[in-house]
Chains A and B, each alone.
Chain A
Amino acid sequence: EPEVTQTPSHQVTQMGQEVILRCVPISNHLYFYWYRQILGQKVEFLVSFYNNEISEKSEIFDDQFSVERPDGSNFTLKIRSTKLEDSAMYFCASTSLGGGLTDTQYFGPGTRLTVL
């Protein structure tokens, strides 16, 4: 069964450093998402991406964040200068939106980001 994959599973970085989190969405999916979940908190939407551009972003997704689809399979989230409060699980999700009004989003296993 196709699944969303994410690497690395755990990333430790120093405050102020740049990190890139990587995702491989399900192959025939067209819409891609990043969410984050701070420990003990709810899963929060960050950004959606379609046709090589951002479709929607939340207030959390400020200028420190960027997304990219550098090739036909990868989808990345970059945090330019990490802060302590960026420590969280980051989930990638994708959906096909195959002609329906909406479609379900399938989530990857997450990358745990720890900022020291």
Chain B
Amino acid sequence: QKEVEQDPGPLSVPEGAIVSLNCTYSNSAFQYFMWYRQYSRKGPELLMYTYSSGNKEDGRFTAQVDKSSKYISLFIRDSQPSDSATYLCAISGGGADGLTFGKGTHLIIQP
């Protein structure tokens, strides 16, 4: 059973575009949702963390969770070449549970 599905891409968009990255998950027990950014051969870097359904905004980034559809999204506004990286969604049942990751979407922002 694939618990977290994420399109690996690559997704290539021009600079300044709005980027939409998505994941679906299968287990409704997951309650906590995170987005990490990972540059090549580096560790995942936390971008956003959400708990409830709805939107959470932080600068150019917006995380969206729809628990009824088991669907999570990350939107990047005014995308920059420095945003080029792999974006990983991660979910957790809470507490000290290990995270379950999606495979990551490789994003390329063209100057």
Contacts and interface: CB of A to CB of B under 8 A. Distances in A.
Nearest to A47: B98
Interface centre among A33, A47, A105, A107 (most CB of B within 10 A): A105
Interface residues of B, number: 26
Contact of B101 (A42, A50, A104): A42
B98 A106 contact: no
B46 A110 contact: no
Given A89-B41, A107-B44, A110-B41, A101 B94 contact: yes
A4 B44 CA distance: 11
Contacts of B97: 48, 56, 102
A45 B44 contact: no
Contacts of B32: 101-102
A22 interface: no
B96 A50 contact: yes
B111 interface: no
Contacts of A108: 43
Given A101-B94, A104-B34, A45 B41 contact: no
Contact of A104 (B31, B49, B100, B102): B49
Contacts of B51: 101-102
A102 B98 contact: no
Contacts of B92: 102
Contact of B88 (A43, A56, A89, A109): A43
B102 to A, nearest CB: 7
Contact of A43 (B31, B45, B46, B101): B101
Given A43-B44, A102-B32, 13 more contacts: A35-B98, A43-B104, A46-B98, A48-B97, A55-B96, A56-B97, A101-B94, A101-B95, A102-B92, A104-B49, A107-B36, A107-B44, A110-B43
**The 5 A-B residue pairs with the shortest CB-CB distance in the complex, in nearest-first order:** A45-B98, A107-B43, A43-B101, A42-B103, A102-B94
Interface of A: 4, 31, 33, 35, 41-48, 50, 55-56, 58, 89, 91, 95, 97, 101-102, 104-110, 112
